[in-house]
Amino acid sequence: MSNKTIGIKDVALAAGVSVTTVSHVLNDVAYARISPETRDKVRTVAEQLGYGPNRLAQALRTQRTGMLGLVSEEIATTPHAGRIILGADEAAKARGYNLMIINTPGSASLESRQADVQALLERRVDGILYATMYHRNVELPANLGSVPSVLVDSVATGGNITAVIPDEEGGARAAVGALLEAGHTRVGFINNTDDVPATHQRLDAFRSVLTEAGLDGDAAPVESEVSEVHGGYEAARRILTGKNPPTGLFCYNDRMAMGAYRAAAELGLRIPEDLSVVGFDDQELIAANLYPGLTTVALPHYEMGAWATEHLIDAIEGKTDLALMALHPTILSCPLVIRDSIAAPRQ
């Protein structure tokens, strides 16, 4: 129904000035000397006509699209991607940028990822955010380097690209620390079997914290299973039916904690009276809805998305040198979210 879109020349015509002048006014060009009356006139007319610049033409001319590419794994299957996107989107919007999102399976080949980046490049995005669904080492498509880029929730195997990752160790320390502070001296860890940084770092932190507290970290019970509800269930059963079972359980993630809840229920152990549990991830759907609410460690997905976007834009605008930050990944803290699954051990 609506007729053709109106361009800058329509505004110029209607305002009785040249296209140049309209451009000068609307972009507040510093050196342009134009009388206040003309400025008003142009602005008024532009408003009346509902003029909005054609960003394509603008971008073509200025070599700036105001678009950020975000390649994200598994948008739908984990809520984590959503939080990263949200953080990135809000940070981008705040600075006048928009996001172009490309979804990719976690299993995508390097070529396929390269094609994704290529698509972004052809659209001339000003920068690229490359996000993975969990903290790990990734091999990057070669063409990623051609525009400013930041890695979210992963580090490059080759290094030398700016990255933000969660403080796995700090988070694990907070979790185990909370158990110790509540008075527990027998604490177990239900770990994941995947060979990812989190698995090792959380385990190390677990043992260290115990040892530092004067307990025997190396002797503390650890059971590993796939990081799903049923894995948590199995591991918890093993750990809780062992001799001298722990009164506090640190779980690799909330899903495994959910399994631990069931194992505890089956064994007649009440949470938190008989058994205290801490999770990791802070998946709302689980942690807040379990009964009792699960105390857990939050992964800073939103924050990582926002941080990456902020710094990417800084780099694009020449306010930051990404090369400098690329030396070491930036580590964002994982705060403990306290709910109701920790209590003092029974005497």
Contacting positions for DNA (CB under 7 A): 5, 7-9, 17-21, 23-24, 26-27, 29, 31-35, 37-38, 53-54, 56-58, 60-63
Interface with a copy of itself includes 267 (CB under 8 A)? Answer: no
14 or 67: whose CB is closer to a copy of itself? 67
Provide, rounded to whole angstroms, the least separation between the CB of residue 83 and a copy of itself: 5
8 vs 13: CA distance, rounded Å? 9
Residue 24 contact among DNA, a copy of itself, none, beta carbon within 5 to 8 Å by kind:
DNA
For the chain, give me the number of helices (H) and strands (E)? 13, 12
The answer to whether 60 contacts a copy of itself (rule: CB under 8 A) is yes
Nearer to DNA, 127 or 279 (CB): 127
Among residues 28, 37, 111, 122, which is the contact residue for a copy of itself, using CB under 8 A?
Answer: 122
Q: Which one-letter amino acid corresponds to residue 244?
A: N
Q: Which does 228 bind (CB under 5 to 8 A by kind): a copy of itself, DNA, none?
A: a copy of itself
Q: How far is the CB of 208 from a copy of itself (least distance, A)?
A: 31
Nearer to a copy of itself, 173 or 255 (CB): 255
Cis check for the bond before 292: say yes or no (omega within 30 of 0): yes
Cα separation, 211 vs 277, whole angstroms: 20
Distance CA 320, CA 326 (A): 11
For the bound state, the minimum distance from the C-beta of residue 274 to a copy of itself, rounded and expressed in Å, comes to 16
Using CB under 8 A as the binding rule, whether residue 77 contacts a copy of itself is answered as yes
Which of these segments, 48-56, 129-137, 161-169, 335-343, binds a copy of itself (CB under 8 A)? 48-56
As to burial, measured by CB atoms within 10 angstroms (0-12 exposed, 13-18 middle, 19+ buried), residue 205 is buried
Out of a copy of itself, DNA, none, what residue 270 binds, judged by CB under 5 to 8 A for its kind, is none
Burial of 209 (0-12, 13-18, 19+ CB in 10 A): buried
280, β-bridge pairs: 297
Q: Which two tokens stand for residue 193?
A: 């079997």
CA distances (Å), 112 to each of 69, 73, 133, 157, in order? 16, 12, 17, 18
Kindly state the number of chain residues that form the binding site for a copy of itself, as judged by CB under 8 A. 52
Residue 216 CB, shortest distance to a copy of itself, in Å, is 34
CB of 4 to DNA, least distance (A): 7
The count of C-alpha atoms lying within 13 angstroms of the C-alpha of 235, restricted to the half-sphere facing its C-beta, is 29
User: 79: which 2 tokens?
Assistant: 């809520």
Q: How far is the CB of 46 from DNA (least distance, A)?
A: 10
Task: Between 125 and 343, name the residue whose CB sits nearer to a copy of itself.
Answer: 125
Q: Which residues of 14-50 are buried (b: 16+ CB within 10 A; e: fewer)?
A: bbebeeebbbbbbeeeeeeebeeebbebbbebbeeee
Please identify which residue in 65, 201, 227, 247 interacts with a copy of itself, judged by CB under 8 A: 65
CA distance linking residue 140 with residue 10, whole number of Å: 46
Q: How far apart are CA 80 and CA 287, in angstroms?
A: 14
Residues at the contact surface with a copy of itself, assessed by CB under 8 A? 1-2, 5, 52-57, 59-60, 65, 67, 75-77, 79, 81-83, 85-86, 89-90, 98-103, 118-119, 121-124, 145-146, 228-229, 233, 255, 258, 262, 265, 283-286, 289, 291, 302
